[in-house]
C-alpha cells in the first residue's frame, strides 16, 4: 500500500487531546481576525514545523513538479449544489462567482500562503492550461497569469469569473475577456473544462493550505449532457485516484447521501476511508425528525467510516448571501446554529470537535502537513530518479543543430564513407554483408556445375540396362555439396547425351573432312550449348548481390543520417545512394555479359589440365564402351587359364590382354568428342565460377564506394554557391524532436527547481 493509504498518514496524533471550541471561544477567536480573512485565526495554532511543511509544498507546486510527481493535495469533490463553493469561500476568505444552474465549470486551485506583516494581502489569478481547445492533452502544461496582482479582495470574484470565462471560451483572446464587459453567447462556449483557475493568495492573515475545488458531479442529463457527465466524472477521478490526494468529500444534508455520486466515487477510490475527510453541508435544511440520521455520520457510525471522521459545517444560505453577509457574520451565524440546534448542541464534547468550519480547517491543515512530512523523503527519491531518467532521455535525443552545419554534414559524410568502406571490405559478424552474400555464391556455383554434359558411352537403346558410377578421379576437386558419392548413377544431372547421338551429329556436320577426322563445330556446338545456360544463374546472382548490398548500405545511411535535422539529409542521401548503386548494378551486368561473351568460343591456355582430364574422361568412357561391346568374349577370355594359353604357344600374355587386339566399333571419334567437351567444361566452369563472383564484387560490392566521397557532396550541393543555405535547411531539427527536447528540458528545469527547494531541508 502506498504511503498515502497507510492509517497513520492522515491521523493527527494531537486530535484526541484538542478540546472542542465552545461557542464563546469560537466567537472570541473570530473577532481577533479583524476583517476575518478565512482561517487566519486557525493559523496561530499551527506549529512551526506544520507551517514549514505546508509552505514547502506550495513552493514545490510553484516549480510545477506536480506534473511529474504525486504531491500531497486536497481535492474538494461533491455533487452540484452540494455547498462546495460556500465551503471554499469560508476556507479561503474570498468570494467565488455564483450563477444559476451550473456554477463551478472548471477546477479552481487555491494555494494559501501565510506571510508575516507588514506584507500586504494579495492574490494572483492564473490560468493553468493542460488541454487544447479540442480536449487533447498538451505535452507541457502552461501556467499564465490572468491580469495584474490583486490587492483588493472585492476584485477577486470578478477576476475569477473572467478567468473561468476565458477557459470556457478558448477561441476568444484572453485580453478581450479580461477587459471587456459584454457576455459571451456565440454558441461555442464549453460546458466544462479540465483547464483550471489557480489562485495564489498570500498575506499575514492567511492560513497555510492548498486545495483544489473540482466541478460538481452532475446527477442527471437535466443538469448537463451525457458528455458533460462523463467529462466531469473523469476529471474528478484523475485527481482522487492519486495516492497522495486527500479527498474532501462534501455531502449535502438536503439529499439522500446514497444518491450523491461523489460519495460513491470516494468509496470506489478510497474504500477503507483512509484518505477521505467527509463534510456535511446545509445542516439547516435537514427535514424535521431526520437529524439523528445525519448525526450518526459525525459519530462515524454510518456505512462509510472514515479514519479522519465526518465534519459538519453551516454556510450562508441564499437569502443571507443576497443580503451581503460578511465572512465574519457567516462564522458567527455558524457558531450560533451549532450552539442553538438541539441535534448538534447535545453532542458529547468528543464530537463537538467535528462541528464548525474552524475545526475542519485545522484538521485539514494537520492531515495535509502530516502527509507532507511523511512524503518528503519519498518525493526526494522520486525526484532524483526522475531527474536521472530525464537526463538519460535528453542524452538519447539527436544533438542540437550546431552553428556550423556545413562542417557537421561534411564530417558525417566522411564518417559514413569510412564505415561503408569497412562494411564492403568485410567485417567478422555473422550477419555482415559478405556473410550474407556467400550462400548465393555457393548456390551459383552449384547451378553452373549442374550444366556439365551428361555423356553416356552407349547407345540410347541400352539406357534402361546401364548405370554409370561417379567419376572417382574428381573426388579431390569437387565439393561435397555437388555430389552424392554413394549414388550408383549420378555422374551428371543434365539430360543424357548418348554416344549414337554424338556420332549422328558428327556425321551431320561433316563437310570436307578426311574420313579419320571429325568437324570441330561439333565440339564447339556442345560447348556453346552448355555456356548458354550460364547467363540466367549469373544474372540471378548479380541481382541478389545487388539487393543484399543495397539493403546493407541503406541501413548504414539510416544509422548515420536519420537523426540529423528533420530527416531531409537522410532522404536525399538515400536517393543519391540508390541512384549510385543502380549505376553500379548496370555496370556489373555489362561486365557479366562481357564475361559470358568470352565463354561463347572455347579457349584455354591451361593445356596440361585440359589434356590430362581429356585422357581420364576418354579412358573412363572407353572402359564402359569396351565392356558393353565384348561382354561375352571378355567372360570367355577371363575363364581361360594362362596354362592353356601356353599350350597354344602364347606366352607372356594374360587372357584379358587379348581384348586389346579386338577391332574398334567405329565410335572412337564420338568418344574423343565426349572426352574433349567434358574436359573443357572442367576447365571452363572452374574459371567461370571464380570470374563472375569476382567481377560482381569488384564492380558492385567494392565498387559501391567508388567516387562516393566525391559524389555525395556534389549531388547534395553543399560545396556549391548555395552550400551554406542548403546545409542550414538540412540541419533544421524536426518539430517532433524539438518539441521533445523542449518538453524534457522544461521537465528537467522543474525538477531542478524542486530539488533546490528540497535541498534546503535535506
Residues counted in the chain: 762
Task: Give the list of residues 6+ apart from residue 742 with CB closer than 8 angstroms, or none.
Answer: 140
Domain residue spans in the chain?
3-66+77-378, 406-623+667-731
Q: How far apart are CA 447 and CA 535, in angstroms?
A: 11
Location of C-alpha cell 494579495: 122
Backbone phi and psi for residue 405, each to the nearest 5 degrees, phi listed first? -65, -30
Burial grade of 299 (CB within 10 A; 0-12, 13-18, 19 or more): middle
CA-to-CA separations, 107 to 80, 156, 398, in angstroms, rounded = 13, 16, 38
Report pLDDT for 18.
33
Domain 3-66+77-378 fold: Rossmann fold (3.40.50)
Q: Nearest 5°: CA angle at 719, between 717 and 724?
A: 85
Location of C-alpha cell 443580503: 323
Report pLDDT for 644.
64
Report pLDDT for 381.
92
Report pLDDT for 613.
93
| DSSP-based helix, strand, coil % in the chain, nearest 5 | 55, 10, 35
**150, β-bridge pairs:** 123
Report pLDDT for 633.
57
Report pLDDT for 12.
36
Backbone phi and psi for residue 77, each to the nearest 5 degrees, phi listed first? -125, 160
Q: How far apart are CA 673 and CA 679, in angstroms?
A: 10
Task: Give the list of residues 6+ apart from residue 594 with CB closer than 8 angstroms, or none.
Answer: none
- Extract the C-alpha cell encoding 510: 561433316
Q: Which residues in the chain land under pLDDT 70? A: 1-51, 62, 98-104, 134-141, 182, 220-225, 478-491, 628-664, 762
Q: What does DSSP assign to residue 699?
A: I
Task: Give the list of residues 6+ apart from residue 599 with CB closer than 8 angstroms, or none.
Answer: 531, 534, 684, 688
Backbone phi and psi for residue 298, each to the nearest 5 degrees, phi listed first? -60, -30
Report pLDDT for 415.
94
Cis geometry, peptide bond prior to residue 118 (ω within 30 degrees of 0): yes
Helices and strands per DSSP (H, E), number in the chain: 27, 11
> Nearest Cα to 413, choosing from 701, 702, 718?
718
Location of C-alpha cell 555422374: 491
- Extract the C-alpha cell encoding 428: 567478422
Considering the domain 406-623+667-731 in this protein, what is its CATH number? 1.20.120.1240
- Extract the C-alpha cell encoding 479: 565439393
Do the Cβ atoms of 357 and 123 come closer than 8 Å? no
Amino acid at each position: 500500500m502506498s504511503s498515502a493509504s497507510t492509517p497513520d498518514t492522515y491521523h493527527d496524533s494531537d486530535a484526541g487531546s484538542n478540546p472542542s471550541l465552545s461557542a464563546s471561544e469560537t466567537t472570541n477567536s473570530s473577532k481577533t481576525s479583524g476583517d476575518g480573512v478565512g482561517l487566519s485565526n486557525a493559523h496561530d495554532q499551527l506549529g512551526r514545523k506544520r507551517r514549514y511543511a505546508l509552505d514547502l509544498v506550495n513552493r514545490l507546486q510553484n516549480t510545477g513538479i506536480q506534473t511529474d510527481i504525486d504531491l500531497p493535495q486536497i481535492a474538494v469533490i461533491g455533487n452540484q449544489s452540494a455547498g462546495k463553493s460556500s465551503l471554499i469561500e469560508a476556507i479561503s476568505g474570498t468570494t467565488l462567482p455564483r450563477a444559476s444552474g451550473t456554477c463551478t465549470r472548471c477546477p479552481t486551485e487555491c494555494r494559501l500562503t501565510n506571510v508575516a506583516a507588514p506584507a500586504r494581502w494579495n492574490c494572483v489569478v492564473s490560468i493553468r492550461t493542460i488541454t487544447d481547445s479540442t480536449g487533447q492533452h498538451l505535452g507541457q502544461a502552461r501556467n499564465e497569469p490572468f491580469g495584474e496582482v490583486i490587492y483588493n479582495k472585492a476584485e477577486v470574484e470578478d477576476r475569477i469569473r473572467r478567468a473561468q470565462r476565458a477557459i470556457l471560451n478558448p477561441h476568444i483572446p484572453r485580453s478581450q475577456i479580461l477587459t471587456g464587459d459584454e457576455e459571451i453567447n456565440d454558441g461555442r462556449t464549453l460546458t466544462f473544462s479540465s483547464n483550471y483557475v489557480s489562485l495564489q493568495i498570500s498575506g499575514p492573515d492567511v492560513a497555510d493550505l492548498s486545495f483544489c475545488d473540482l466541478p460538481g458531479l452532475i446527477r442527471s442529463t437535466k443538469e448537463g449532457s451525457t458528455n458533460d457527465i462523463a467529462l466531469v466524472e473523469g476529471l474528478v477521478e484523475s485527481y482522487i485516484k492519486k495516492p497522495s490526494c486527500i479527498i474532501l468529500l462534501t455531502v449535502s444534508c438536503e439529499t439522500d447521501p446514497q444518491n450523491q455520486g461523489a460519495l460513491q466515487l470516494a468509496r470506489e477510490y478510497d474504500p477503507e476511508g483512509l484518505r477521505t475527510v467527509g463534510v456535511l453541508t446545509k445542516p439547516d435544511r435537514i427535514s424535521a425528525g431526520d437529524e439523528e440520521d445525519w448525526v450518526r455520520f459525525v459519530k462515524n457510525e454510518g456505512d462509510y467510516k472514515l479514519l479522519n471522521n465526518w465534519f459538519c459545517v453551516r454556510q450562508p444560505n441564499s437569502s443571507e448571501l443576497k443580503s451581503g453577509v460578511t465572512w465574519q457574520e457567516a462564522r458567527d451565524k455558524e457558531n450560533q446554529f451549532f450552539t442553538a440546534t438541539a441535534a448538534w448542541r447535545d453532542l458529547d464534547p468528543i464530537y463537538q470537535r467535528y462541528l464548525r468550519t474552524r475545526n475542519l480547517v485545522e484538521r485539514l491543515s494537520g492531515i495535509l502537513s502530516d502527509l507532507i512530512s511523511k512524503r518528503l523523503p519519498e518525493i526526494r527519491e522520486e525526484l532524483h530518479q526522475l531527474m536521472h531518467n530525464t537526463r538519460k532521455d535528453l542524452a538519447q535525443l539527436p544533438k542540437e543543430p550546431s552553428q556550423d552545419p556545413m562542417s557537421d554534414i561534411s564530417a558525417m559524410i566522411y564518417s559514413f564513407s569510412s564505415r561503408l568502406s569497412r562494411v564492403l571490405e568485410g567485417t567478422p559478424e555473422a550477419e555482415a554483408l559478405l556473410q550474407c552474400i556467400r550462400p548465393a555464391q555457393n548456390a551459383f556455383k552449384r547451378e553452373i556445375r549442374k550444366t556439365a554434359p551428361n555423356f553416356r558411352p552407349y547407345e540410347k537403346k541400352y539406357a534402361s540396362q546401364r548405370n554409370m558410377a561417379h567419376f572417382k578421379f574428381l573426388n579431390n576437386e569437387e565439393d561435397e555439396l555437388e555430389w552424392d558419392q554413394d549414388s550408383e548413377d549420378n555422374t551428371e544431372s543434365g539430360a543424357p547425351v548418348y554416344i549414337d547421338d554424338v556420332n549422328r551429329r558428327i556425321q551431320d556436320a561433316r563437310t570436307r573432312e578426311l574420313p579419320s577426322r571429325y568437324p570441330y563445330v561439333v565440339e564447339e556446338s556442345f560447348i556453346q550449348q552448355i555456356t548458354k545456360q550460364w547467363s540466367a544463374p549469373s544474372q540471378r546472382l548479380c541481382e541478389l548481390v545487388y539487393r543484399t548490398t543495397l539493403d546493407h548500405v541503406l541501413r548504414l545511411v539510416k544509422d548515420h543520417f536519420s537523426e540529423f535535422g528533420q530527416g531531409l539529409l537522410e532522404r536525399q542521401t538515400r536517393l543519391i545512394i540508390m541512384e549510385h548503386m543502380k549505376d553500379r548494378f548496370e555496370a556489373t551486368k555489362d561486365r557479366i555479359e562481357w564475361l559470358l561473351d568470352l565463354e561463347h568460343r572455347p579457349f584455354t591456355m591451361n593445356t596440361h589440365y585440359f589434356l590430362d582430364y581429356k585422357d581420364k574422361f576418354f579412358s573412363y568412357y572407353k572402359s564402359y564402351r569396351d565392356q558393353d561391346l565384348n561382354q561375352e568374349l571378355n567372360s570367355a577370355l577371363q575363364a581361360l587359364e594362362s596354362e592353356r594359353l601356353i599350350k597354344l604357344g602364347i606366352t607372356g600374355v594374360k587372357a584379358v590382354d587379348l581384348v586389346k587386339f579386338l577391332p574398334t566399333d567405329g565410335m572412337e571419334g564420338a568418344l574423343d568428342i565426349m572426352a574433349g567437351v567434358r574436359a573443357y567444361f572442367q576447365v571452363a566452369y572452374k574459371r567461370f565460377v571464380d570470374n563472375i563472383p569476382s567481377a560482381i564484387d569488384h564492380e558492385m560490392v567494392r565498387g559501391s564506394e567508388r567516387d562516393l566521397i566525391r559524389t555525395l557532396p556534389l549531388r547534395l550541393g553543399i560545396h556549391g554557391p548555395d552550400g551554406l543555405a542548403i546545409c542550414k535547411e538540412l540541419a533544421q531539427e524536426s518539430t517532433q524532436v524539438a518539441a521533445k527536447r523542449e518538453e524534457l528540458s522544461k521537465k528537467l528545469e522543474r525538477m531542478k527547481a524542486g530539488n533546490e527547494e528540497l535541498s534546503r531541508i535535506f
